[in-house]
């Protein structure tokens, strides 16, 4: 007979202990199935219990209106091109700017120039701009002065279409490369005295205008970074040598307005024109919002007076505003902005951002899955109910709207949802 002695080793003890733990956890979990939120609730008097309420009855009316012109002097980014949109009409972005030599060296005058190019750094594109929009470059006939230019500036008076010095189309690269003609080269290299100083150079060469021309029905725009180191005019000579001109910056050149843009819109044959010309007291069922100084949108509480007339006061725990997006036929081509923000008008008629933005709470991002923009406006709603804010209208704006022609169509009226969690006391 073989006797087998079983020894309880350390490894066996550990396995036994680990096997007991899940059973112990299961027993504890089963005994704690009751909602911990109600733990001790029966010990509280009814007067001390807080009742949370949830409301979705607050509604809005919406209106579309034309924006005022904006300042365009000496910006880093500009949108250049032409967009034809059935819903928003035509957008056109044009630019006039002054380039200066990086070094005032007159040796360029005595060199044989092989070629010259204008390079524009591209930050982003919008619409169908690939090979469908020509960017024509013209010599400026008059200097850009020190005034602050608005988006409705008369850029036509600064150049003549007879003075074209180059033209190109966007080919998909990160640079828009435009060859410049012999007339332009001779103008920059005809007189050594022009390279004495900034003032003398500008009097001889006043700058360039970039004017788009559309070649297909839709078109598009590029957003140009004009303060990029890649944005420049370069003259090439002696095989590998070059001479460079750049846009002056406020740090490099004092008291020179180096450039401005003209942004123009034609809504006459578009869908949005019906909303711009209707009675402003009519609740627009669709809302149109556009970057730069395109059409704007506002929404106004239509039935919050019932809350304002309540005898009790409110503590707003959470207020989430959802503004849904309408997807038109060109939704993929003219993709919506990633983020919007809200403003309200103060008693001094100045637009202010909501206090919710100060803590980074408001969000405003586009929810691609659910198709709406979401805003958290608890502080704003609290200030309205407490009487600190009298304006019941919210103005919708696009992040970075000053230089990018994003557009989006929003659903209005009962489609806009405000979900409020609150207590009354």
Pick the CATH number of 53-66+269-424 from 2.60.120, 1.10.287, 2.60.40, 1.10.3720: 2.60.120
CA distances in angstroms from 336 to 264, 294, 314, 409, listed in the order given = 20, 14, 35, 8
What's the DSSP call for residue 347? T
Average the pLDDT over 383-387 and give the result. 89
Q: Report the pLDDT value the prediction gives residue 43, as an integer from 0 to 100.
A: 44
**pLDDT > 70? residue 358:** no
Identify whether the C-beta of residue 244 lies closer than 8 Å to the C-beta of residue 119: no
Helical H segments across 90-221, by residue range: 182-188, 198-204
Give the model confidence (pLDDT) of 201-235 as tens digits: 999 999 999 999 998 889 999 999 988 889 999 99
The H or E element containing residue 221 is strand 219-225
pLDDT higher than threshold 50 for residue 318:
yes
**8 A C-beta contact, residue 286 and residue 410:** yes
Alpha-carbon distance of 331 to 346, in angstroms, equals 35
Q: What pLDDT is attached to residue 40?
A: 39
Phi first, then psi: what are they for 83, rounded to 5°?
-125, 125
Render pLDDT for 98-142 as a digit per residue (tens, 0 to 9).
988 888 889 889 988 989 999 999 999 999 999 899 999 999 999
Separation CA 82–CA 132 (nearest Å): 10
pLDDT tens string 52-88 = 888 889 999 999 999 999 999 999 999 999 999 999 9
Residue 12 DSSP SS3: helix
> In sequence order, which residues have a C-beta less than 8 Å from that of residue 396 and are 6 or more positions away?
287, 289, 296, 297, 298, 299, 323, 340, 341, 342, 410
- Dihedral sign for Cα 94, 297, 367, 341, please: positive
Q: How far is CA 110 from CA 103, 105, 107, in A?
A: 15, 11, 5
Q: Is the pLDDT of residue 35 over 70?
A: no
Q: Where in the chain are the domains?
A: 53-66+269-424, 77-266
Range from 41-45, 323-327, 395-399, 407-411 carrying the lowest mean pLDDT: 41-45
Dist. CA 407–CA 297, nearest whole Å: 11
User: Biggest alpha carbon distance in the chain?
Assistant: 119
DSSP state of 102: S
Upper half-sphere CA count for residue 105 (Cβ side, 13 Å): 10
Structure tokens belonging to residue 372: 């709406």
């Amino acid at each position: 007979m073989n006797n087998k002695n079983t020894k309880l080793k350390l490894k066996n003890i550990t396995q036994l202990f680990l096997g007991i733990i899940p059973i112990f956890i299961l027993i504890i979990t089963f005994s704690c199935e009751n909602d911990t939120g109600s733990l001790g609730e029966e010990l509280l008097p009814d007067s001390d219990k807080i009742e949370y309420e949830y409301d979705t009855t607050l509604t809005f009316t919406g209106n579309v209106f034309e924006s005022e012109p904006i300042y365009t002097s000496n910006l880093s980014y500009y949108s250049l091109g032409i967009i034809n949109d059935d819903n928003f009409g035509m957008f056109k972005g044009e630019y006039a700017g002054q380039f200066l030599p990086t070094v005032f060296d007159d040796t360029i005058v005595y060199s044989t120039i092989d070629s010259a190019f204008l390079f524009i750094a591209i930050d982003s594109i919008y619409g169908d701009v690939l090979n469908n929009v020509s960017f024509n470059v013209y010599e400026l006939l008059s200097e850009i002065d020190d005034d602050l230019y608005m988006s409705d500036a008369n850029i036509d008076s600064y150049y003549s279409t007879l003075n074209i010095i180059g033209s190109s189309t966007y080919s998909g690269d990160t640079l828009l490369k435009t060859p410049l003609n012999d007339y332009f080269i001779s103008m920059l290299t005809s007189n050594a005295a022009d390279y004495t100083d900034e003032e003398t150079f500008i009097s001889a060469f006043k700058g360039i205008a970039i004017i788009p021309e559309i070649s297909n029905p839709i078109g598009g725009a590029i957003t140009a970074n004009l303060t990029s180191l890649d944005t420049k005019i370069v003259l090439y000579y002696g095989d590998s040598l070059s001479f460079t001109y750049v846009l002056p910056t406020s740090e490099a050149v004092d008291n020179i307005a180096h450039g401005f843009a003209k942004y123009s819109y034609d809504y006459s044959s578009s869908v949005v024109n019906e909303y711009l010309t209707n009675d402003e007291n009519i609740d627009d069922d669709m809302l149109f919002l556009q970057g730069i100084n395109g059409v704007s949108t506002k929404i106004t509480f239509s039935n919050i007076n019932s809350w304002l007339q309540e005898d009790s006061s409110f503590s707003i725990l959470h207020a989430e505003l959802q503004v849904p997006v309408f997807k038109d036929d060109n939704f993929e081509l003219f993709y919506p902005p990633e983020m919007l923000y809200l403003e309200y008008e103060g008693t001094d008629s100045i637009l202010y951002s909501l206090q919710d933005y100060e803590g980074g709470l408001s969000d405003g991002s586009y929810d691609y899955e659910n198709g709406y923009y979401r805003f958290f406006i608890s502080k704003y709603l609290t200030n309205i109910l407490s009487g600190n804010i009298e304006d019941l209208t919210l103005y919708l704006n696009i992040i970075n709207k000053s230089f990018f022609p994003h557009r989006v169509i929003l659903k209005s009226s009962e489609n806009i949802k405000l979900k409020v969690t609150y207590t009354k006391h």
